[in-house]
Structure 1
Amino acid sequence: MKDERKTRGWSQADLAEKMASAGLKAHATTVAKIEGLDRAVRLDEAAIIAGLFELSLDEMLALKRYDQQSILDVFLATAGTSANEINSIAERVNDAFVRLQVEPGDLVRRSHESVDADLVPAIFRSYMAGLPAQEAVSRLIDARELLRYAVQQASVSDDALAESHGGTDAAAVRRFLESFLPPDEFKNPAEGGE
């Protein structure tokens, strides 16, 4: 986006003004955050921004060049932020779950001690909510760990890649990626394929 903006001689404020005219809430700081990969872009925003540059969304995403490192950088920023957000959500759900005190023994005791007839159904609902709440927290933690692992894999050094996969040159990368494809899925253009 920054390259496209600069190619047109637009400042960040100019682009923000054009974005605002197209219906997006945008300021120069919004553009700076997007360009600095500190703010994700929603699909609807990306489509509008691409239109401002008179590009298709596909062209905008590739920026008329295939820049896998930029795409990877966006992924790293998004996944890292998302892992932290998931962690915060898991902690809040777990705290709420702990406050439910859904141990069956505690609930039975509270139901016997209660003189409030409305409390007994609430105790039952608390127990029924506790089981899926525990599962939800567990799945959130799993999702966070998977995102962190993805970030770790995306951040591995060139030396580590070369050691684990036989190199980082184009041929080694192709061999590695082709190993995931079914036979005959990829035809090498040099061999008369598509």
Structure 2
Amino acid sequence: MGNDWVGSAEDAGPEDRFGKRVRQEREARGWTQADLARELQRVGLNLHPSAIAKIELRNVARPRAIRLDEAEAIAKAFGLSVDSMYQSAGNRIRTLGNQTGAYINEMELLIAKGRQLSSELNALTVGIDDDERRNLRDQLSIDAFEGMLATVADSVESVIQDVVARAESGLPSNDGFVMTLPPSRFSRYRNQVEAARTNILESGDEETRKNHQSEGSGHGA
């Protein structure tokens, strides 16, 4: 199945967006409508699979109305908030993009802490004989820890390089993440990146400005 909701749900009404999101979340979990009905029973709502089918079916003359208690139970069954289920496709893309950027930024902080820890672990092995050094490295799994740290650092850097390359090439990219990256990350177009960041802060809505200011505050140049 294609992601037809991305192209069409942006201009849809709230209930249409919700219904399409129900189908998307259900299919993403590999659930049938009967499976979802069973999950809804666990959270206190009895809803027949045929009713779920009508909730998901929005491209009809008179789509089924969605009650508030139904919306709350369906969102709960998916482990999501009701508000997120009503999000437009564009807002959802921006929200998840910002969350992805925040996650990568947190990973970079953890990597920095890991490198500091690695230095302290290695300091333990200084000034002791070879057998004791090997035993200590084995005891504390220093080699395994450093291997894991290197792998994670390489993976995070690969994601950042991909985002930067797309942004510098003018391709669609994770704009929210781009705005959290310091200009030093970019080999080209640094002025454009700064201008884009300034434009968001000056012309974006209040929530957007707060998001970018909070994301940028934890990132040094």
Same-fold status (TM-score > 0.5): no
Q: TM-score, normalised by structure 1?
A: 0.42
Q: Which has the larger radius of gyration?
A: 1
